[in-house]
Structure 1
Amino acid sequence: MELRDRTAMILGGSGLVGHAVARRLLAAAPRRIVLVALFEEEVKATAEALEPYRGRAAIEVEWGNVFVSAALARLEHGALVANAEHRAVLLRDALGELTDDVLHRSFLYQLLMKYRPDAVVDSINTATAFAYQDVVKSAQELLALAGAGTLDRAAVERHVLLLTTPQLIRHVQILVEALRRAETKAYVKVGTSGTGGMGFNIPYTHSEERPSRTLLAKSAVAGAQSLLLFLLGRTPGLPATVEIKPTATIGWREIGFGPIRSKGKAIPLVDCPEPVPVSHAFRPDAQPWCDLGRPLEGVFIDVGENGLFARDEFETVTALGQMEFITPEEIAEYVLMELEGRPTGRDVVAALDAATAGPTYRAGVLRAHAIEQLRALERQTKSRSVAYEMLGPPRLTKLLWEAHLCALLRPSVRALARSNAQELATEAHALVTRDAALRSHILSVGIPILAPDGEAVYRGRQVVVADDGADPRAAAPRGWVDLRPEQFGMWVKRAREIVAQAERRPSRAAESGSGVDWTALAADDAIEPARFATWVFRYEDRGERIKR
């Protein structure tokens, strides 16, 4: 895409990569860049450092935690999980249905709606944010509390808030919907391998077993996110999606001498002049050291999220055969090239597209034979199967059976389009009442049948979709055959739209090339449940595959 006079948002804008991307973006003369970071001081300092490169572009800054609601975004993580009301909000937003209320509360959603960026570069290390919360240690502590009989709700809530999968899924759900509503054209994620490109033999741990479960959790989250982005890139109406995944240490921002800071705070210089017995040294009340009243100082190299390294640490980690390293400027160049439509060969989403085994010509040929064999066997056995509700979702089974009822009652799409919904409902109910085999098949696969008055229902031993609310009928759209007139009104409306589509298409006598939709329903076609369900998924649900 052309970046001149566009708006670009950089998530993680004060980080090593985010800063480099911002500098490179400014060279493309955008109208505005929006830097989003966790801390106010850092993002404002980054904006100030970018001032010489700004040109005519405006630089906006925002700060806070994009993984939580806006009301909680500027609170420290420890304060969030310590407060019962805050935990309740976090749990509701992470585990509940994705409603508009959840979206509108989200800080990330609010940012994307406020600025509506043409391009988003996401350089937040999402995998680190979720995986470095040590769910294993929390689980062990939870089990210990349970064993001691002292387990309370607060402990369970704190543990649930460490579970990575629900957090990642909800984050991506919000991201996808926000990108869609903001009409963003391009999304580039700067991801991670979790191990700096090394394998299970990585020697760097957090003092636990090798390989480190913490690092492997980070890799697992990073991999899961890549697959979710793979799906994002296959969704119509969403931005072009790219992931650049560095597989080396990223460095560096600065080389200097001064106080050594960890997590934003200077490390205090301490001493222990005399040794103490090991048996006493690590007791909770032990404090054999003395604070020297000044910070630890030294020569350092700033490697971004990994902190400050001494020369020997940097030399070891980046040595040939270890993590080695890549510069943020190189990553930024990959990002900009992809944004501008120049493939780098470094896009993980494109690599997955190329490496996966999609539909084949052979399968397409055999599909026709399989369907004909199924039809022949149905004719031979004088049976009609329609749906067994094993694949799911139950709504598919519902659609197929309702379309089958329409097919039994009307000879063509056009005839259905001309029907009266009330009459259809009455006829369908009469059919279900007298045809015990039809009724039995539907009920046996777990699909209830709601009578036209909405007050009575046929049900079998199993019910696939039951509603736990006050009105069980709320489950009907998700997995019940619904004989109410308003539901048949929906089928009549669908048939009318299919007829309208057919009339808008050029006649096949006029056009007979490969650009014609040869699978499209014609007005006088017989009603086939599978084709009707496919039409609903394609045109109502916008659920059409765009990559093969």
Structure 2
Amino acid sequence: MYHDFLILGGAGLVGLQVCRHIVQTLQPRRIVVASLLPEEAEAACEQLRAEMGDACAFVPESGNLFVPTDLAATPRDQLLADREVRRRLLASLYDDFDAAYQENHLVQMIRRHRPEVVVDCVNTATGLAYRDVFQGAQRVRDWLDGDGYDDRGVADLETLLLSQSVPALIQHVRFVHQVTRECQTRVYVKVGTTGTGGMGLNIPYTHSEDKPSKVLLAKNEAAFGHTGLLFLLARTPHAPIVKEVKPAAMIGYRGVQVKVAADKHRNTRLFAAREVPLEGELHLAEPEDGYRPEGQLSVAIVDTGENGVFTRGEFAAITALGQMEFITPEEIARTVVSELRGANTGQDIVSALDASVLNPSYKAGLLRRAALTDLDRAEPDGDVPSVALGRLGPPELSKLLFEAHLIRHVYGSLEGALGEGVTPEVMSRALAAALDASGVARTAPSIGIPVLLPDGNRILRGPRVNVPEIRGHSTTVTWRDRAELESWIKRGWVDLRPSNMATWQARFRKMLASRARLRTTGSAAANIHTWSADSFEIGEVVAWIFNNELEGYRVK
């Protein structure tokens, strides 16, 4: 079983219970308890040590998981108030993935502790949705006029770009994928949310005058967008086991107490009301110093953790039969730990999706051959060979298809390309000589796939080039060094240099060797690593490359 755990959101309502249940059930050696604030993580560890003794080591961690490590302790409003920091965060979110990965706080945390299991109890969807892109969009629109955009609104525009949930979620899950693979994390469990406490579009609880609340629906969108990305992560080679437990009710509660509470405006004071006439204009926000203070909002509340605090009236309403109702954090933690133990709770969302989606069918497999035969017969009627249009990405697919088409046009078979006297240099010259006759000279450059000629110094190109991609308004690029140029060639240019011909010949040898093993070993050798086609079908060749060189294959 597992011994080292990282609990993200470990000081929260659910996270703390997950820590307790792990200690009671799984006999861990170490639990890293991560929270946004260091004092929260320290307090949680102290509480767990007091309860559990020295049965397990509890290690506090803290910081914002969505920003670089050196910014992880800075509150978000302070980050957004600094122009240079905003620009840095924009670059981190929208520019180079690898650079952002290296400095991300979550990545650094997992690298530092290398846990076997990560349980993510952070209310990610809430954090993203409550950035409120709707209010942000309104602020940006306020700076628009007939002449364009007022420069004074640049900060609001940058904040709006930083508030988008989709880029943040995509980047976050990609970080999780890469760092858990790098650190050999075995299991990743997400405690998610429906965003509405299990209620539908008729949910009466709102963050504004809109009903349903747009912010609440944005939370739902982020929550299930996150689920979809976890579904993909679970189908990715070498990823950890991925599970998600998704409560569909309000989670509660931590305790009841009388305390000074804040309203939705973060106000904690009582004021003497003023009587004013209704005269057609109503000021929605006036200076507080115009009102006489009359004490604090000291009130009996129930603490529901990440969901906030509720008065008796609010709690009674939201948990009533037919409303959100509620589920306890202990029940959620028990489900999480049961899934970690390998028990089939029936409440893992990822497994439920796996069981619900429609997978490839036997009938479709039979029809595939008929479709390919019909395409083969129809191909001579077209003006160009049926190789690629570039619409099915990535550009590397089109590049490989055109290269395979050229080889088939010249040599006819895999064995022919490995024939006596067919050196990489000979093959390079032969393919270059066949560019016109094969149709590649016209087709590939026309759809944005340049052809690099054998000398490596000249290309055939059309009006557009797909790789590198156009970013922003500039349509001109310069390469910093040869390595960058080589990366473009590899990703999206037909490469006729002898070095690439040697690569193709090495592939063909592996493919033919795998075919021989299938003949002698039978079904035991039938897998994605085996070349089982009877002819030189260029799509089959490229699929073999995706399966065996690019790790681009399905695992379920």
TM surpasses 0.5: yes
Contact kept in structure 2, 1:7 and 1:118, CA below 8 Å: yes
Say what the alpha-carbon RMSD is for the aligned residues: 2.6
Change in Cα spacing, 1:267 to 1:46, as seen in structure 2 (3 Å) is farther
Aligned 1:405-484 pairs, distance under 5 A: 405-417=406-418, 419-432=422-435, 435=437, 437-466=439-468, 468-471=476-479, 475-484=488-497
> Quick check: 1:107 aligned with 2:141?
no
Partner of 2:35: 37
**Shift of residue 176, structure 1, vs aligned partner:** 1.2
Between 175-184 and 148-157, the greater mean CA deviation after superposition: 148-157
Partners of 1:35 and 1:386 lie apart in 2 by: 54
- Bigger mean CA deviation after superposition, 367-376 or 174-183: 367-376
Tell me how far 1:274 sits from its aligned partner: 4.6
Q: Structure 1: which amino acid aligns with 2:205?
A: Y
TM-score between both structures, scaled by the size of structure 1: 0.91
Q: What corresponds to 1:75 in structure 2? A: 74
Q: 1: distance between equivalents of 2:384 and 2:63?
A: 61
SS in structure 2 at match of 1:508: helix
Structure 2 distance, partners of 1:482, 1:257, is 73
Deviations, residues 263-303 of structure 1 (Å, cap 9, x unaligned) = 9x9963322165345668646446332334x6432322111
Q: Could you tell me how far apart the structure 2 residues matched to 1:262 and 1:57 are? A: 39
TM-superposition CA deviations, 1:435-488 (whole Å, max 9, x none): 274422333333221111222221234443356421477532222211122222
2:52 matched to which residue of 1?
53
Partner of 1:240: 241
How do residues 349-364 of structure 1 correspond to structure 2 at under 5 angstroms? 349-364=350-365
Paired residue secondary structure (1:287): helix
Q: Is residue 259–residue 267 contact of structure 1 (8 Å, CA) maintained in 2?
A: no
| Contact preservation (8 Å) 1:65, 1:73 | yes
Q: Secondary structure at the match of 2:299?
A: strand
Q: Which SS does the other structure have where 1:331 is aligned?
A: helix
Task: Name the SS of the counterpart of 1:183 in structure 2.
Answer: coil
Distance 1:465 1:61 in 2: 45
Moved more, 26-35 or 403-412: 403-412
Counterpart among 545, 549, 556 of residue 540 in structure 1:
549
Distance 1:290 1:462 in 2: 68
Of 468, 490, 508, which aligns to 2:519? 508
**What is residue 161 of structure 2 aligned with on the other side?**
160
CA distance in 1, matches of 2:327, 2:320: 12
| Partner of residue 268, structure 2 | 268
Q: Distance in 2 between matches of 1:459 and 1:19?
A: 60
| 8 A contact 1:67–1:106 mirrored in 2 | yes
User: Hey, what's the Cα distance between the residues in 1 that align with 2:370 and 2:432?
Assistant: 35
Q: CA deviation at 1:391?
A: 2.1
Contact 2:262 2:268 in 1 (8 A): no
**Cα distance in 1 between the residues matched to 2:438 and 2:371:** 29
Q: Helix, strand or coil for the counterpart of 2:145?
A: helix
Shift of 1:513: 3.8
Distance 1:73 1:383, change over 3 A: closer
Offset of residue 390 of structure 1? 2.8
Deviates most, 179-188 or 281-290: 281-290
Aligned to 1:531: 540
CA 1:360–1:253: 2 relative to 1, 3 Å = same
Amino acid at match of 1:81: L
Q: Is 1:141 aligned to 2:142, yes or no?
A: no
Partner residue of 1:16?
Answer: 13
Q: Which is worse superposed, 513-522 or 453-462?
A: 513-522
In the alignment, the residues of structure 1 paired with residue 231 and residue 528 of structure 2 have an alpha-carbon distance, to the nearest angstrom, of 29
Q: How has the CA–CA distance of structure 1 residues 534 and 43 changed in structure 2, closer, same or farther, with 3 Å as cutoff?
A: same
CA–CA distance in structure 2, aligned partners of residues 10 and 195 of structure 1: 24
Q: 1:261 to 1:462 in 2, by over 3 A?
A: closer
- 1:373 aligns with 374
Q: Is 2:315 aligned against 1:317?
A: no
- Tell me what 2:190 maps to: 189
Once the two structures are overlaid, the 10-residue window that deviates more, 125-134 or 437-446, is: 437-446
> 1: distance between equivalents of 2:245 and 2:193?
8
Q: 1:281·1:288 contact (CA, 8 Å) conserved in 2?
A: no
Q: In 2 relative to 1, CA 282–140 (structure 1 residues): closer, same or farther, beyond 3 Å? A: closer
C-alpha distance 283-179 of structure 1, shift in aligned 2 (>3 A): closer
Deviations 1:333-352 (A, max 9, x none): 11011111111111111111
1:171-221 CA-to-partner distances (Å, cap 9, x unmatched) read 111111111111111111111111110001100001321000010011011
The Cα shift of 1:508 comes to 2.4
Structure 1 residue 500, shift from structure 2 partner: 4.8
The answer (yes or no) to whether the contact 1:413–1:525 under 8 Å persists in 2 is no
For normalisation by structure 2, the TM-score amounts to: 0.90
Aligned residue for 1:496? Answer: 509
Q: 1:519 to 1:236 in 2, by over 3 A?
A: closer
Q: How far off is 1:410 after superposition?
A: 3.4
Q: 1:287-302 counterparts in 2 under 5 A?
A: 287-292=289-294, 295-302=296-303
Instruction: Work out the CA distance in 1 between the residues paired with 2:68 and 2:462.
Output: 43
- Give percent identity, aligned residues only: 38
Point out the more displaced range, 48-57 or 82-91.
Answer: 48-57
Question: Residue 85 of structure 2 aligns with which residue?
Answer: 86
| CA-CA distance at 1:117 after TM superposition | 0.9
Kept in 2, the 8 Å contact 1:66–1:106? The answer is yes
Aligned AA (1:53): M
Cα deviation for residue 116 of structure 1 reads 1.0
Q: Distance in 1 between matches of 2:555 and 2:544?
A: 15
Partner Cα distance (1:274, 1:394) in 2: 67
CA deviations on 1:16-42 (whole Å, 9 max, x unpaired) are 010110100111211111111101111
AA at the equivalent of 1:453:
D
Query: Partner of 1:342 in structure 2?
Result: 343
Aligned letter for 2:214?
A: R
Judged with a 3 Å threshold, the aligned counterparts in structure 2 of structure 1 residues 411 and 207 are, in CA distance, closer, same or farther, namely closer
Q: What secondary structure sits across from 2:434 in the alignment? A: helix
Structure 2: distance between partners of 1:26 and 1:437: 66
In structure 2, what residue type is equivalent to 1:543? G
The DSSP-based 3-state class of the residue aligned with 2:160 is helix
Q: Which has the larger displacement, 487-496 or 126-135?
A: 487-496
Q: Which residues of structure 1 form unaligned runs of 5+?
A: none
Matched to 2:200, the amino acid is: G
Q: Do the aligned partners of residues 276 and 403 (structure 1) sit closer, same or farther apart at CA in structure 2, a change above 3 Å counting?
A: same
Deviations 1:350-409 (A, max 9, x none): 111111112111111111221222233347889842223232222111101101222233
Amino acid at match of 1:9: L
Cα gap change, 1:295/1:498 in structure 2, threshold over 3 Å: closer, same or farther? same
Contact 2:529 2:548 in 1 (8 A): no
User: What is the rounded CA distance, in whole Å, between the counterparts of 1:246 and 1:439 in structure 2?
Assistant: 57
CA distance in 1, matches of 2:389, 2:86: 42
Aligned equivalents of 2:11, 2:239: Cα separation in 1: 26
**Local SS of the residue matching 1:371:** helix
CA contact (8 A) 1:280 1:286 kept: no
Query: Is contact 2:529–2:547 with CA below 8 Å preserved after alignment?
Result: no
